[in-house]
Structure 1
């Protein structure tokens, strides 16, 4: 587990962000007709969707396996017109932002969604980790937690500090943030259950730790 961030890594990340924002085309390559956004796609590339993530692949002489239709830095305004997308799916992404950056991103997502369209957000669920820490196993898959963490403390530390996590979320907190930027009809969902089948993109191997939330513009 990698908890330490060194100055070199921080500099390279910010330098890539600067180069990408200044010298690359930061607008999405849209489909004709319907457009769904997979925001923070990482290695989970989905055909037919607008897959968006950070500016990687500056070594142009090497083949970049992470295909993206939109390269961006989620801490900054999205270069996209209002009311563009028919739906947004973002999986285990906003926990990599500080809370104020996450709120700005949610506001931007609200802007680029079409009216009445849905955002589906998944994040590590603080409530599940706290239940594991407190040994309250009724509503969690305790075997999955125990496979990964020897103690509850280890689990909490992993969720809050590992993998460049900068914020933690439960349903109450994310609901407040969504309401603050204008979303309505905010619902806690389950794995594989959605109000829009185009957003049924959950990765099964993350279900044990995940909070699923949908909201409508």
Structure 2
């Protein structure tokens, strides 16, 4: 399917979807056991959802100025700093003037604050949910912090200032920090299912391409 065909059929893209498939969005993920650049309807039985199996390293499969919404959650940190710069530029390219970008990443500032404050609950909860409660490999808050940074293929960390600077540099405006499920998107409760770990550690940022 050609880029123009995809961005005519779908006006909202969910990039790096993993196993979360959103109805009425084009959910893009990369699975080596599925057909490359192939559409799959109702993945995992989710009615109204569509998966496009595409490697985003090859770019976002949409025409310039064609999308109303681009959403990605816990994807950006898996790219290097320079890859992330290029990726955010690609998000800007495919959005229509006035289109909205919503980004979630682990909040590096929050992690640092909780480390300095010695917040045992924060680190114990992340180890329990995110690191299989492995107290042998992750006995301390420092080990847990490094487990978050390195054990999930993370290549970059973002606090609000760093992400906001990247978005500003790219050309986005009306950049604001929000909470999980706090958004200008009317379907945010569906787009962003509530997971306690995500709510605990996420930096949520929303912005617009100038109209």
Query: TM-score over 0.5 for the alignment?
Result: yes
Q: Please, what is the CA RMSD of the aligned residues?
A: 2.9
Matches within 5 A, 1:7-46: 27=3, 30=6, 35-46=11-22
Tell me, in whole angstroms, the C-alpha distance in 2 between the residues paired with 1:101 and 1:75: 9
After TM superposition, give the deviation of residue 27 of structure 1 in Å.
4.0
Q: How many residues align?
A: 189
After TM superposition, give the deviation of residue 185 of structure 1 in Å.
0.9
Tell me, in whole angstroms, the C-alpha distance in 2 between the residues paired with 1:79 and 1:118: 17
After TM superposition, give the deviation of residue 75 of structure 1 in Å.
2.9
Residue in structure 2 matched with residue 20 of structure 1 by the alignment: none
Secondary structure, in 3 states, of the residue corresponding to 1:169? coil
After TM superposition, give the deviation of residue 29 of structure 1 in Å.
6.0
Stretches of structure 1 lacking an aligned partner (at least 5 in a row):
1-24
After TM superposition, give the deviation of residue 141 of structure 1 in Å.
5.3
Tell me if structure 2 keeps the 8 A contact 1:29–1:50.
no
Residue in structure 2 matched with residue 116 of structure 1 by the alignment: 98
Tell me if structure 2 keeps the 8 A contact 1:133–1:151.
no
After TM superposition, give the deviation of residue 135 of structure 1 in Å.
2.4
Residue in structure 1 matched with residue 117 of structure 2 by the alignment: 135
What is the TM-score with the length of structure 2 in the denominator?
A: 0.77
> Is 1:191 paired with 2:180?
yes
After TM superposition, give the deviation of residue 53 of structure 1 in Å.
1.4
After TM superposition, give the deviation of residue 162 of structure 1 in Å.
1.1
Q: Deviations over 1:54-99 (max 9, x none)?
A: 2432489xxx967854333333333321111111110110111111
> Is 1:207 paired with 2:183?
no
Q: Deviations over 1:159-207 (max 9, x none)?
A: 2101111111111111111111111111111111101223442232211
After TM superposition, give the deviation of residue 156 of structure 1 in Å.
1.5
Tell me, in whole angstroms, the C-alpha distance in 2 between the residues paired with 1:58 and 1:45: 16
Tell me if structure 2 keeps the 8 A contact 1:85–1:114.
yes
The correspondence for 1:107, drawn from 89, 93, 99, is 89
Residue in structure 1 matched with residue 24 of structure 2 by the alignment: 48
Tell me, in whole angstroms, the C-alpha distance in 2 between the residues paired with 1:102 and 1:210: 17
The farther-off stretch of 161-170 and 74-83 is 74-83
